[in-house]
Amino acid sequence: MNILLLFFLWKMNKYYTRNLVRIRSSKLSQLINLVMRSCNSNLVAC
pLDDT value of position 42: 66
What does pTM read for this prediction? 0.33
| 44: nearest Cα among 2, 16, 12 | 2
Q: What SS3 class is residue 2? A: coil
pLDDT value of position 44: 57
CA distance 31 to 19: 15
AA identity, residue 22? R
What is the tens place of the pLDDT at every residue in 5-15? 888 888 878 87
Q: Which helix (H) or strand (E) holds 22?
A: helix 20-23
Mean residue pLDDT of the chain comes to 74
Query: For the chain, what percent of residues have pLDDT higher than 70?
Result: 67
